[in-house]
Amino acid sequence: MTTDTDLDDLLAALPLKSPREVYDEIEAARRAAELAPPPEATIIPMPEYPYMWPHPLGGIVRFPCALGCGWAHDEDAFEEDLEPIIVPLGGSTQDINRIFNERSLQRAAVVRGRIETAIRDHFTAAHPGREIPAREAR
Ligand SMILES: [Zn+2]
C-alpha cells in the first residue's frame, strides 16, 4: 500500500506473478546472458567532452592517449556530414529507415577508423613497441 491511491489501483490491476514465474524469468535472463557474445574489445579510450555547449567548441569529443602522455585525438561531433542522403520518392518508412541506418553505420565505421588510425599513428610515433591498451566496447 502506498499513500497514492491511483498508484494503489494500478498496482492492484497488475497481474501477480507466482514465485515460479519470477524464478523462470530470472533463469531465462541468466541463460540469455550466458549465450550473449562476449563484449568486443576496442583500442578507442572512453571519450572526454572538454567543452560544454554553447561553447563554440562544444562538439569536440576528445580521445586521450590511454598511457596518459597528454596527447589526444579530437573529433568534432557537430561537423557536417556533407554527403547527401538520397531517399527515393515514394519510399516506404522501412526504406527510409534502412537508408538512414546504413548511413549511420557507414559514418560510424569511418569515424571509428579515423580514431583508430590516429591512435595507432600516435603509438608508433610516441610509444614504439608498447601495446595499445584495449577496453571492452560498450
Ligand atoms: Zn601517448
Distance 138 CA to ligand 1 centre (A): 23
Q: Phi first, then psi: what are they for 34, rounded to 5°?
A: -65, -35
pLDDT tens profile 24-83: 999 999 999 889 888 889 999 999 999 998 999 999 999 999 999 999 999 998 887 778
Cell, residue 68: 596518459
User: Into how many domains does the chain fold?
Assistant: 2
Is the domain of 113 the same as that of 91? Answer: yes
Is the domain of 65 the same as that of 109? Answer: yes
Domain coverage including residue 28: 5-35
Contact residues for 42 (Cβ-Cβ < 8 A; gap 6+)? 134, 135, 136, 137
Distance 58 CA to ligand 1 centre (A): 24
Distance 71 CA to ligand 1 centre (A): 5
pTM: 0.69
Which is more confidently placed, 10 or 20? 20
Distance 119 CA to ligand 1 centre (A): 8
Helix (H) or strand (E) holding 96, with range, is helix 93-126
Is the domain of 28 the same as that of 57? Answer: no
In whole angstroms, what is the distance from residue 108 CA to residue 111 CA? Answer: 5
Is the domain of 53 the same as that of 95? Answer: yes
Query: What is the chain's Cα-based Rg?
Result: 24
Say how many C-beta atoms besides its own lie within 10 A of residue 66's C-beta.
19
The string over 21-57, giving b where at least 16 C-beta atoms fall within 10 Å of a residue's C-beta and e elsewhere, is eeeeeeeeeeeeeeeeeeeeebbbbebeeeeeeeeee
- Give the pLDDT of residue 2: 63
Question: How long is the chain?
Answer: 138
Q: Percentage of the chain surpassing pLDDT 90?
A: 64
Is the domain of 49 the same as that of 114? Answer: yes
Distance 113 CA to ligand 1 centre (A): 18
